[in-house]
Structure formats: C-alpha cells, structure tokens
C-alpha cells in the first residue's frame, strides 16, 4: 500500500526541517511546499510554525495560502504556532487576525511566581476527550513545549497542559487538528501523535 502523502506547508518556521525528518522516520512521504496544487492533492496537510503570529500570517498571505488552507478538505494538523494560527485571533503583536478555522482567541501566558514565560521544556498531558489523534497517549504523557501564548480550554480541546494556568495542548474541529507542543521533539509521545495523524485519522 502506498504511503500517505503529506504536504508540509512552507510557512518559514525554523522547525520545518525537524518536522520533516520526524515524518520520514515514521514512513510518511512528506513534501515541503507552498504550491497550492501540492497542498490540495496531498492526503494530509501539516502547518508547522515557530515565531510570532503576525509574521506567520504575513508569510501565509504573501504565499497566497490563506484561501488554500480554508479549502483543505483532507486532515490538517497545525503544530506549535501553526496550531495557534488555526484560531480566529491572537493577542500577539498587538492583535493578529488568524485563519479562523477554529473559533477562539490565543492569549498570553501570564507570569506566575517560580514559572518562566515562555513556557519551555517538558510538561505533562491530560486527556479530556478520546480522539484518533491522541490514541495511545495516556494521562501524564510528557511532551516538549516552547510558547509564550496559548489557547484557553474550549469545547474543541482534546488534551490540556498546566503552566500558570490550564491550556489547550491538542485541539480538534472537524478535519482540523492542532498540537501546541512540538511532536518532532517529544520522543515517544510526538512519534505516536504523528503516526496517528498519518495513519489513523479520517477525512
């Protein structure tokens, strides 16, 4: 059986190479692209990202990919900043209108005694709702995070994490998923999530 094809959207994030390598390790046929035809033709689409929301959205607009991502019918996974860009609005950069594929607002993580912002390092995951994307990830599984802004818990939250509050770690709305942590740096948990996305989720 042919390996599922994955369009890895070239959003300019510094984590693209490591995401691509992680996909290769699990047997996915991943292609870095900003070509709308490639994105529409792929079996799966991943939107990675590192950095600020304003710059991330500017890159997508310049590449003409905002409308393309709205048209995607196959499974779509946003990673780190890519997850945040799936939402309607981010408070970052003085306020940034994002893709609006999921309802809600990305907000800054507030400072708290003894806790560093940005939230950087390994943290535990808590399951709220079962989903093919998170199958095999138990409560207490650890994943690697790097972020200063976060998505509050909503009806679309599948998993949460704690850092100066409770935040969405994995989200879903229809055929659109997001992971706030870096699966490419999250060892077993990250490999399982990516494998589930490639092989288990349905359009």
Which residues are known to be catalytic? 80, 182, 184
Residues 137 and 182: their CA atoms lie apart, in Å, by: 15
Sign of CA dihedral 22, 61, 152, 132: negative
What are the angstrom distances between the C-alpha of 119 and each of 19, 24, 54, 109, 116?
20, 28, 20, 8, 6
In a 13 Å sphere around the CA of 117, the CA atoms on its Cβ side amount to 14
Q: What is the bridge-based pairing of β-strands 119-124 and 126-127? A: unpaired
């Amino acid at each position: 059986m042919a390996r599922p094809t994955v369009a890895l959207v070239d959003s300019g994030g510094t984590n693209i190479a490591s995401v691509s390598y992680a996909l290769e390790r699990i047997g996915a046929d991943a292609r870095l692209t900003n070509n709308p035809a490639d994105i529409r033709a792929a079996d799966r689409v991943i939107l990675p990202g590192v950095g600020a929301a304003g710059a991330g959205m500017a890159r997508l607009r310049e590449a003409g990919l905002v409308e393309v991502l709205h048209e995607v019918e196959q499974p779509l996974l946003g990673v780190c900043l890519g997850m945040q860009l799936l939402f309607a609005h981010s408070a970052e950069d003085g306020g940034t209108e994002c893709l609006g594929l999921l309802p809600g607002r990305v907000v800054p993580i507030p400072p708290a005694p003894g806790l560093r912002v940005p939230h950087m390092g390994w943290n535990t995951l808590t399951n709220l709702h079962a989903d093919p994307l998170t199958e095999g990830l138990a409560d207490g599984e650890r994943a690697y995070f790097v972020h200063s802004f976060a998505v509050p818990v909503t009806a679309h939250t599948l998993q949460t994490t704690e850092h100066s509050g409770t935040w969405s770690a994995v989200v879903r709305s229809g055929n659109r998923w997001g992971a706030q942590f870096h699966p490419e740096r999250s060892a077993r948990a990250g490999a399982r999530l990516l494998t589930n996305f490639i092989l288990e989720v349905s359009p």
